[in-house]
Amino acid sequence: MTANTQEALTSAALSFQLMTRAEPPELVIATIKSLLAVKEACDEILIIDNNNKETSLYEPLAAFCQSLDAELNVHFHHIDHVEGFKAGALNLALGLMSPDCSHIVVVDSDYQALPHARASITQAIAQYPEHTLLQFPQFYRNEGQLDAHSELNHYFNHHLYRSFNRNRALSTGTYAVIRRSDLLSIGGWSGASITEDAQMGVLMHRQGFRSQFVPEVIARSYCHRLTT
């Protein structure tokens, strides 16, 4: 890899994409703020609030995004009657995103980016320049629930961590980094399944594209203990 290629990959423009539906606005705003703290000027943040008629839940988001400087490239869209489950909203984002962005970063509304998130993403893009999908692990920021954390993180810490599986990763949703051109070449996100992330991974591998699990925590959510 030449120095120019390395520099181009490291400075890749990213489209951080959040799909929301009836989420607590303060939670989503905290996630947006965490992305603002790590994004570069060439990046954008897209929020697609869909199929949600509760104005009290999406109007504060719209107001917050509108209050930001336009140069930050934060764009909020509220769209009803979106078909195709979450895939439908993701396809809307795919059509609305800037063509200058080479990669999509899918972000769940409760996953706050850590300070090194963007640097780790662009380093992974440079390390795996031929890969369509780079999947980072899910992780949780609250303490005192190690039993729940262990169960939820088992897939990443044991299954995907194995060397045999690292380059066969399916997308697990949040903090999946996807090459835009390759996603477009397979027709975007499939609405044939409610697990559009794994479905995308299957379709991607079927077309001969490559993926890689990157075992580095770059964002954290909040683990809610399940009770019976």
Report pTM: 0.86
pLDDT in tens, 71-130: 999 999 999 988 888 889 999 999 999 999 999 999 999 999 999 999 999 999 999 999
Provide the percentage of residues in the chain whose pLDDT is more than 70.
Answer: 79
pLDDT of 66 strictly over 70: yes
Give the pair of three-digit tokens for residue 43: 């990046």
Q: Would you say residue 44 has pLDDT above 60?
A: yes
| 63 CB-near residues (< 8 Å, 6+ apart) | none
- At 161, the pLDDT band (50, 70, 90 cuts) reads low
- Give the DSSP per-residue string, 139-163: -B--SS-HHHHHHHTHIIIIITTSH
Per-residue model confidence as pLDDT tens digits over 135-159: 998 777 655 655 555 556 655 555 5
The length of the chain in residues reads 228
Residue 5 has pLDDT above 70, yes or no: no
- Which amino acid appears at position 88 of this protein? G
pLDDT at position 4, please?
Answer: 41
Residue type, 193: S
Summary mean pLDDT of the chain: 85
For residue 126, which of 6, 3, 4 has the smallest C-alpha distance? 6
Most distant pair of Cα atoms in the chain: their distance:
57
DSSP helix/strand/coil, 223 = coil
Residue with tokens 């509304």: 109
pLDDT confidence of residue 226: 46
For residue 191, what is the DSSP state?
Answer: T
Query: Pseudo-torsion of CA 162, 165, 167, 172, nearest 10°?
Result: -110
Closest CA to 173 of 219, 116, 205: 219
Tokens 């970063």 locate to 105
Domain ranges of the chain: 3-220
Residue recorded with tokens 């995103």: 97
Beta partners for residue 209, in sequence order: none
Tell me the mean pLDDT in the region 8-22.
85
Q: Is 17 exposed, middle or buried (0-12, 13-18, 19+ CB in 10 A)?
A: buried
Beta carbons of 198 and 106 less than 8 angstroms apart? no
Tokens coding 12: 């890749």
pLDDT band (50, 70, 90) for residue 201: confident
Architecture of domain 3-220: Alpha-Beta Complex (3.90)
- Distances in Å between the Cα of 104 and the Cα atoms of 91, 97, 193 are 12, 9, 20
Q: How confident is the model at residue 40 (pLDDT cuts 50, 70, 90)?
A: very high
